[in-house]
Amino acid sequence: MDSLLIEGGNRLEGKLDIPRSKNASLPLLCLSLLTDKKLCYRSVPDVADIRSLESLLASLGVQKLAPGEYHAKEIKSVKADYELVRKMRASVLVLGPLLARTGEAIVSLPGGCAIGERPIDIHLDGLKKMGAEIQLEAGYVHAKAKRLVGTDIDLHFPSVTGTINLMCAASLADGKTILEGAAREPEVQEVAHALNKMGAKITGEGSTRIEIEGVRSLSGLEWEMPADRIQFITYLAAAAITHGDLECSPIAASQIESVLDSFRQMGCEVETNERQKSVRLISRKAFKPIDIETAPFPGFPTDAQAQLMACLSLADPESGLSHIEENIFENRFQHVSELRRMGADIHVKGNLAAIKGVPKLSGATVMASDLRASASLVLAGLAAEGETKVLRVYHLDRGYERLEERLQSVGARLRRVPQ
Ligand code: EPU
């Protein structure tokens, strides 16, 4: 297991091109299961989760013809094996497409993970309402339906992958499906747009009510993977925490407005340029403490909570406390104990964290526990006095593409230590 060695205290300055979105690319690649035509993607992110999904898709019959080109002329297996699914929860995204295309899907239950229990009842209840017969057998979901039938579905929470799975399934269903309480995240909108380009009839994406008129078949696709709003925010946070000046692109700033607001409240200067799809963050003074509540889009994303907490741990100690309320996952404060080891003053009660700024963090050996927690430890290391060693970097490699190189190019001093 590789680790990262970070020499803290360098101000980051310059321009960065941010890689494309893992969380949009994962469901976009799964669209290959919905059609016997070829799909061609540009700018597929080069991260471990994408490679895991490619292995799973290959086991089902999706051929990778060239980089970014996927073709499932025939589905050769409807079983998503535990060995492949366990590597990544997002594997559940094959369930809706497989069932809709072949009438059957056997998918290993993804199970919980470091950040929470993460049930998939919303996915399963929706498919059942569309007429699927679903059984749980020896750790697998076994779903069958000759053809799914459009219906009205109420999601009890706006699950991102739940909404996408049901949208995919409904695209090939008989008749109209209405998803009420749907997720509004940019990744959901992106998948809807790609499906429409393939011939699906989806309206309302970006709102809480999505309507899908089923079609008989879907065509191929040429598509460019969209911006990664969470990596984007992470690099802006790197500028903030090192009191630096970074201009990052590409992004539609509206996708990260809630976080840009938080940076502004903290006292950072934020300049957006819609035409160039860039955001520049300049951090000149000590942060003001702020309060954050994570919420579904367009609220503050849970995936950016850990990174902002690292920044707030260095807020002006004389100006009071910051508070973070985590409302999406039940166990997403695992970075707190590690940040404390670096000198942060953070107290957690349930889903609430109170953060009292300290004048400085000190380098330490810390353990990454999940993807975004790892990012927050790297950020803390960039600002800390002395050397920080972040263990278990494989968590970062799941969703951050060549993070060290990018940070080095704008003045950070860090290197990977292979084990
Ligand atoms: N939930 C249920 N039942 C379900 C599905 C979800 O109760 O059937 C609950 C979850 O337990 C959780 C909440 O609903 O408490 C939100 O979960 P959601 O389903 O929206 O999350 P997800 O689709 O599994 C995606 C991202 C996550 C991101 C969340 C929230 C992908 C591949 N993953 O997960 O990304 O945190 O949405 O925005 O898109 C990450 O990239 O680090 C990451 C964890």
Q: Dump pLDDT digits (tens) for 258-305.
A: 999 999 999 999 999 999 999 999 999 999 999 999 999 999 999 999
Q: What pLDDT band is residue 1 in, cutting at 50, 70 and 90?
A: confident
CB of 155 within 6 A of ligand 1: the answer is no
Nearest residue (CA) to ligand 1, atom 6? 159
Nearest residue (CA) to ligand 1, atom 33? 23
176-180 and 152-154 beta bridge pairing: parallel
CA of 280 to the centre of ligand 1 (A): 29
Q: Residue 302: its pLDDT value, please? A: 98
Inform me whether the pLDDT recorded for 182 exceeds 70: yes
Nearest residue (CA) to ligand 1, atom 7? 119
Residue type, position 266, single letter: M
State the average pLDDT over residues 239-250: 98
State the average pLDDT over residues 71-89: 94
The proportion of the chain whose per-residue pLDDT surpasses 70, expressed as a percent, equals: 100
State the average pLDDT over residues 180-186: 98
Assess contact for 18 and 248: CB atoms under 8 A: yes
CA of 370 to the centre of ligand 1 (A): 14
CA of 8 to the centre of ligand 1 (A): 33
CA of 118 to the centre of ligand 1 (A): 7
DSSP state of 322: E
Assess contact for 365 and 389: CB atoms under 8 A: yes
Handedness of CA 274, 190, 185, 116 (dihedral sign): negative
State the average pLDDT over residues 40-44: 98
Written as six digits, the tokens of 207 are 């709102």
- Catalytic residue (choose from 30, 113, 168, 268): 113
Cα 164 to Cα 170: distance, rounded to the nearest angstrom = 10
CB of 395 within 6 A of ligand 1: the answer is no
What is each CA distance from 51 to 25, 67, 188, 205, in whole angstroms?
11, 12, 21, 28
CA dihedral 178→176→144→109, nearest 10 degrees, is -20
Q: Residue 192: its pLDDT value, please? A: 98
The answer to whether 113 is a known catalytic residue is yes
State the average pLDDT over residues 170-181: 98
Nearest residue (CA) to ligand 1, atom 24? 161
Mutation test residue for ligand 1: of 157, 164, 327, 371, the one with most atoms within 8 Å of CB: 157
Assess contact for 261 and 236: CB atoms under 8 A: no
Inform me whether the pLDDT recorded for 221 exceeds 80: yes
CB of 45 within 6 A of ligand 1: the answer is no
Inform me whether the pLDDT recorded for 115 exceeds 90: no
Assess contact for 273 and 341: CB atoms under 8 A: no
Assess contact for 227 and 22: CB atoms under 8 A: no
Cis amide prior to 250 (ω within 30 degrees) = yes
| Averaged pLDDT score across all residues of the chain | 96
CA of 288 to the centre of ligand 1 (A): 30
State the average pLDDT over residues 223-239: 98
The proportion of the chain whose per-residue pLDDT surpasses 90, expressed as a percent, equals: 95
CB of 303 within 6 A of ligand 1: the answer is yes
Query: Position of tokens 């953060």?
Result: 355
CB of 90 within 6 A of ligand 1: the answer is yes
CB atoms within 10 A of CB 136: 10
CB burial string 288-316: b at 16+ within 10 A, e below? bbbebebebbeebbbbbbbbbbbbbbbbe
Mutation test residue for ligand 1: of 26, 29, 107, 118, the one with most atoms within 8 Å of CB: 118
Handedness of CA 200, 205, 208, 209 (dihedral sign): negative
Mutation test residue for ligand 1: of 233, 328, 397, the one with most atoms within 8 Å of CB: 328
| Residue 102 burial (C-beta neighbours within 10 Å; 0-12, 13-18, 19+) | middle
- Which of 301, 321, 320 is CA-nearest to residue 375? 301
Tell how many helices (H) and how many strands (E) occur in the chain: 14, 24
CA dihedral 220→208→113→135, nearest 10 degrees, is -70
Assess contact for 202 and 210: CB atoms under 8 A: yes
Nearest residue (CA) to ligand 1, atom 44? 303
CA of 201 to the centre of ligand 1 (A): 25
CB of 96 within 6 A of ligand 1: the answer is no
Query: Position of tokens 């690649």?
Result: 29
CB of 159 within 6 A of ligand 1: the answer is yes
Inform me whether the pLDDT recorded for 111 exceeds 70: no
Residue type, position 339, single letter: L
Q: Residue 112: its pLDDT value, please? A: 64
State the average pLDDT over residues 217-235: 98
- Using DSSP, state whether 9 is helix, strand or coil: coil
Handedness of CA 147, 150, 156, 160 (dihedral sign): positive
Cα 150 to Cα 211: distance, rounded to the nearest angstrom = 10
CA of 360 to the centre of ligand 1 (A): 34
CB atoms within 10 A of CB 138: 8
CA of 331 to the centre of ligand 1 (A): 12
Inform me whether the pLDDT recorded for 232 exceeds 90: yes
Q: What is the longest distance spanned by two Cα atoms in the chain?
A: 65
Written as six digits, the tokens of 269 are 């200067």
Cα 191 to Cα 196: distance, rounded to the nearest angstrom = 9
Nearest residue (CA) to ligand 1, atom 5? 120
Q: Residue 118: its pLDDT value, please? A: 87
How are strands ordered across the β-sheet holding 291-293?
A: 291-293, 321-325, 352-356, 345-349
Mutation test residue for ligand 1: of 22, 52, 124, 160, the one with most atoms within 8 Å of CB: 160
- Using DSSP, state whether 173 is helix, strand or coil: coil
Inform me whether the pLDDT recorded for 48 exceeds 90: yes
Nearest residue (CA) to ligand 1, atom 40? 303
Inform me whether the pLDDT recorded for 117 exceeds 90: no
Cα 380 to Cα 238: distance, rounded to the nearest angstrom = 9
CB of 116 within 6 A of ligand 1: the answer is yes
φ, ψ for residue 261, nearest 5 deg? -60, -45
Cα 347 to Cα 230: distance, rounded to the nearest angstrom = 25
- Which of 37, 27, 32 is CA-nearest to residue 58? 32
